[in-house]
Amino acid sequence: MAGTGEGKKEEPDYKKLFNFPLIRHTDMPEEMKVETMELCVTACEKFETNNESAAKMIKESMDKKFGSSWHVVIGEDFGFEITHEAKNLLYMFYGGRLAICVWRCS
């Protein structure tokens, strides 16, 4: 019990440690992937408290850069089933708690 308590206390530290973005699944080409990942990190850092604005920023930038009809979901606890265009999906973690899913489907 004490161990789990300590574990919980350590968690926020770990989350601070886990600040790097971790790509969970993607089929994007390398360049696109890197750009998108950086964009997501920027957005999340900018809008730390507001997921919606972060998602809005990401979506608009993706639309401008890569073409229309991008969808973005940011959250901590959700399940999803999506159909995306081939080579246009990025699913990543960030900051130890956020999960970001970016895909395109027109």
Partner 1 sequence: MPMPNNTTAASTRKQKGAGAKSTKAASRKKDEEEGVEMVDGLDEAPVKPKDQLELSEAELKEEITRILTANNPFAPQNIVRYSFKERSYKSTSVVDQMAVHFVLEGNLLHQDSDEARRLRAKEGLFEETTVVDAEAEPEEEEPETPATPVEDGGDMEETGEDDRPDSVASKTDKKEPKLTNQFNFSERASQTLNNSLRDRCCQTEPPPRVTFSDTANQWKTYDMYEMETEKQEKNKDKQNATPKKENDNSKKKMMLIETQSDTITKVLKPAKILERMCNQNICDDIAQDFKYFEDVSDEFRDQKGTLLPLWKFHYEKAKLSVTALCWNKKYQDLFAVGMGSYDFSKQGHGMLVFYSLKNSAFPEYIYPTSSGILCLDIHELHSHLVAVGFYDGCVAVYNLKEEGQEPVYKSTAKTGKHTDPVWQVQWQNDDMDNNHNFYSVSSDGRVVSWTLVKNELVFTDIIRLSLNGAVSEGPEAVHEPIVVGGTSFDFHKHIDYLFLVGTEVGQIYKCSKAYSTQFLETYEAHSMAVDAVKWNHFHPKVFISCSSDWTIKIWDHTINSPMFTFDLNSAVGDFAWSPYSSTVFAAVTTDRTVHVFDLSVNKDQALCQQTVVSKKKTKLTHIDFNPVYPIIIVGDDQSCVTSLKLSPNLRRTPKGKKRQELPKGPETEVAKMEQLLRLLREPDPTTV
Q: Name the token pair of 15.
A: 């989350």
Separation between Cα atoms, residue 86 and residue 41, nearest integer Å: 23
Q: Order of strands, edge to edge, in the sheet holding 70-75? A: 22-26, 89-94, 98-104, 70-75
Q: How many residues bind partner 1 (CB under 8 A)?
A: 33
Binding of residue 34 to partner 1 (CB under 8 A): no
Binding mask 67-86 for partner 1 (x = CB under 8 A): --------xxxxxxxxxxxx
Separation between Cα atoms, residue 75 and residue 52, nearest integer Å: 9
Kindly tell me which residue out of 1, 5, 25, 30 binds partner 1, with binding defined by CB under 8 A. Answer: 25
Positions that interact with partner 1 (CB under 8 A): 11, 14, 17-18, 20, 22, 24-25, 27, 75-86, 88-89, 91, 93, 96-99, 101, 103, 105-106
